[in-house]
Structure 1
């Protein structure tokens, strides 16, 4: 049976915030860069709530979501494009904004017939294809938010569990903003269950607790109010690419805190031996894991020895800006950093280069300062570009998402998630999404996507699998 035929939609509804004055939010360079990118697809797997029937789970989530949208009202909006003309009436460009008119978000209730928790997170195997069916809007890109909802949630009933899939237009928000929103929504859901007090019509919903309300005003380089960015196109559709999704295998792999510390110590030892005491002192577990996946994926690709390769990672700008933006900044605030220069595959794979690669990743991160961020924004304004598949070098390794996102604290009132998973959107060969480890502490999970040929080669890589931890909760 095809995985898609195992999942059937039972119902769909629209959740809207309470009416408020119409409002537009102009998009920044970071937002518009995502207009050809697929929707963010992240989901959480739970045991089936013993106290709530499945349809009550859907109603409970929808009610709490309606309250959350009162503060996060852009989530219920749509994109809108305005054309800009010169004094002669000629179109000279266009700008894109979020029209906050309460159009609503979609809540989907689905059944995965015969699918159990064990089927979703099998031990030591690929992420099953049925997981892709837990996420709607599979082929949508940011531009489609002119007509489609900017946010959709699908609640999929399993035999013994519930999978809640979140699908967010990347023009609306990045991963940091998404997980802050999801956790605030979850807090409201927990409060509703614990207090069991309905909100009378016309009264304010339950507060978001003591957490700061989202900062919805978009960042501006000059510190003032953000203005619409005029793109040198008549329509933003001219920027859109819709390539076919590549054939990939995806595995979710666990790296315990102990394994990551060993990787870090190995890199530090190599750097000390090479005389790079500064690089050794600055090492982090992220750098050590990034070095491992970059080197081992490069080896799995069996590149020509002289073929150049780079490492690239998504990076959060909030704390790097001066003045810094708070975590509550709701929008995109990310760039991509890369190692300073391509290196040939043979050099990267030499013995002792684990430490060198880790330090190279560290230098790329350290160089991403307030000055560098502002220079990048200024360059973008001169020549706007958007992220497409053509932007990705087929020989690079790309790391996205973050183990700092509070995925496992996202409890809607029936317990801690069992596992976090992603959908099919945006994945390409060499795409690695980092998650917090399900067992907590300083562990990490890595969702690795490769072509079948490259994944088969990676599965034979002794260096890589020596670092992968066995028997992790997220894989059982």
Structure 2
């Protein structure tokens, strides 16, 4: 993750019922208190003489920025089809690689005044946190701001884990470089999927499975209880896997790729609950791995949603304790930087999660109106999943594609009929 850019996520809030000077004082004090629970973020990265990387908890602090954009109004930035570029200005540390945490703060908060609201943008070093840790920090910041005396979810800083590796990663002089170009023309759009729409996709993806289960129940006396067949997990494709499968098919079709070309769908997975023994759900750090699922373009597009959904599902289910540890051992045998980007033009990378409590960030005057991200780690095929603001299983996908591919996706009826 040291060649990745910092995580940039933020929340759009309505106009607070207090003067900006009082608001800034409240936010600064709350942030300082939050850091007392997350001391690692107030430190710096440090590489010792042997080459091992550490977080030096030296209380160097994080960056806090106040910016003004009073000519921008909430309705004007939420109503366009494409995500306006102004959101990219609501964050600090643009184009900053995580390796820079050796001499730059590991986190930053920018509070931007709008004409009728504020945007709280949070930037955190990706080598130090993953999405789970990021949103726990953000949620705690909001919780303290609205007056909590005791935080509800204390981070776990245990380091006796498989991720505490003795391997040494050697860096080129001056540190690593980004593995993708940030200069390519891109379009960014939020697609909303209601719970009902996603359930329809799930039903479609599991149609073959449902028929097989009914047949087995009739012929083999199989029983299904709470999603388990005779004590074993079913092969049911989840709602999110169904949505990912549909996106994979439609984006691939929009790219107009040769049928013999290989396409890859990468999905970031949380390893905390996959390890044995399990890590604490609030383990603070980066505990994710990337699962690549591959298929030929021709087969992906000629088969149905069940086929692509099952490919993704089987890979996710197979990513157990042994797979996590095997991935770590493989990396230790050949330490290397994690590459981001889409070098072959046929890849999709899914990040974030609709399970993250993004809309729990109530700072004391109401839930966020929207969640958005900055310019970091954006390339053709980068997708981020957010929970829908209305909850109930709805999902928002932040989709970043080349202009030509985005135009093709917008005319893909199989995909657009699922969009709410």
TM-score normalised by structure 1 residue count: 0.81
CA shift for structure 1 position 395: 0.8
**Contact in 2 for aligned 1:83/1:235 (Cα 8 Å):** no
Residues in 2 aligned to 1:304 and 1:240: alpha-carbon distance in whole angstroms:
28
SS state at 1:163 partner: strand
**Contact in 2 for aligned 1:271/1:356 (Cα 8 Å):** no
2:2 counterpart of 1:35: yes
2:150 counterpart of 1:207: yes
Q: Report the counterpart of residue 70 of structure 2 in structure 1.
A: 113
- CA-to-partner distance for each residue in 1:67-100, whole Å, 9 max, x for gaps? 111120111111112222xxxxxxxxx1211111
**Contact in 2 for aligned 1:96/1:228 (Cα 8 Å):** no
Q: Report the counterpart of residue 348 of structure 1 in structure 2.
A: 300
Residues in 1 aligned to 2:181 and 2:253: alpha-carbon distance in whole angstroms:
27
SS state at 1:180 partner: helix
SS state at 1:237 partner: coil
CA shift for structure 1 position 280: 7.9
2:399 counterpart of 1:443: no
Which residues of 2 match residues 455-470 of structure 1 at below 5 A?
A: 455-469=406-420
Residues in 2 aligned to 1:230 and 1:151: alpha-carbon distance in whole angstroms:
25
2:272 counterpart of 1:308: no
Q: Report the counterpart of residue 278 of structure 2 in structure 1.
A: 324
Name which of 226, 229, 237 aligns with 2:175: 237
CA shift for structure 1 position 333: 0.2
- CA-to-partner distance for each residue in 1:206-238, whole Å, 9 max, x for gaps? 4324x3x2111324339xxx4654234576815
Residues in 1 aligned to 2:179 and 2:249: alpha-carbon distance in whole angstroms:
30
Residues in 1 aligned to 2:396 and 2:341: alpha-carbon distance in whole angstroms:
28
Change (3 A) 1:271 1:284: same
Q: Report the counterpart of residue 395 of structure 1 in structure 2.
A: 346
Q: Report the counterpart of residue 39 of structure 2 in structure 1.
A: 73
Q: Give the alignment's Cα RMSD to 1 decimal.
A: 2.2
Which residues of 2 match residues 381-460 of structure 1 at below 5 A?
A: 381-389=332-340, 393-460=344-411
**Contact in 1 for aligned 2:109/2:122 (Cα 8 Å):** yes
Change (3 A) 1:303 1:207: same
Q: Report the counterpart of residue 244 of structure 2 in structure 1.
A: 290
SS state at 2:11 partner: strand
Residues in 2 aligned to 1:55 and 1:424: alpha-carbon distance in whole angstroms:
28
Change (3 A) 1:233 1:248: closer
Residues in 1 aligned to 2:341 and 2:186: alpha-carbon distance in whole angstroms:
18
Name which of 105, 116, 121 aligns with 1:149: 105
**Contact in 2 for aligned 1:255/1:444 (Cα 8 Å):** yes
Residues in 1 aligned to 2:210 and 2:315: alpha-carbon distance in whole angstroms:
20
Which residues of 2 match residues 111-190 of structure 1 at below 5 A?
A: 111-123=68-80, 125-190=81-146
Residues in 1 aligned to 2:341 and 2:110: alpha-carbon distance in whole angstroms:
30
Q: Report the counterpart of residue 225 of structure 2 in structure 1.
A: none
2:279 counterpart of 1:338: no
Change (3 A) 1:142 1:129: same
Residues in 2 aligned to 1:110 and 1:409: alpha-carbon distance in whole angstroms:
24
Runs of 5+ consecutive residues of structure 2 not aligned to the other structure: 217-228
Change (3 A) 1:101 1:39: same
Residues in 2 aligned to 1:54 and 1:269: alpha-carbon distance in whole angstroms:
54
Change (3 A) 1:330 1:236: farther
Q: Report the counterpart of residue 361 of structure 1 in structure 2.
A: 312
Task: Between 389-398 and 168-177, report the one with greater CA deviation.
Answer: 389-398
- CA-to-partner distance for each residue in 1:131-173, whole Å, 9 max, x for gaps? 1101111110101111111101111111011111111110110
**Contact in 2 for aligned 1:36/1:388 (Cα 8 Å):** yes
Change (3 A) 1:294 1:390: closer
2:2 counterpart of 1:45: no
**Contact in 1 for aligned 2:155/2:284 (Cα 8 Å):** yes
Q: Report the counterpart of residue 202 of structure 2 in structure 1.
A: 264
2:193 counterpart of 1:255: yes
SS state at 2:391 partner: coil
**Contact in 2 for aligned 1:268/1:280 (Cα 8 Å):** no
SS state at 2:190 partner: strand
Change (3 A) 1:36 1:182: same
Q: Report the counterpart of residue 224 of structure 2 in structure 1.
A: none
CA shift for structure 1 position 176: 0.4
Change (3 A) 1:239 1:375: farther
Runs of 5+ consecutive residues of structure 1 not aligned to the other structure: 1-33, 85-93, 193-205, 470-476
CA shift for structure 1 position 120: 1.9
SS state at 1:65 partner: helix
Task: Between 387-396 and 94-103, report the one with greater CA deviation.
Answer: 387-396
- CA-to-partner distance for each residue in 1:429-467, whole Å, 9 max, x for gaps? 111100001001111100000011111111111111100
CA shift for structure 1 position 388: 2.7
Change (3 A) 1:37 1:293: same
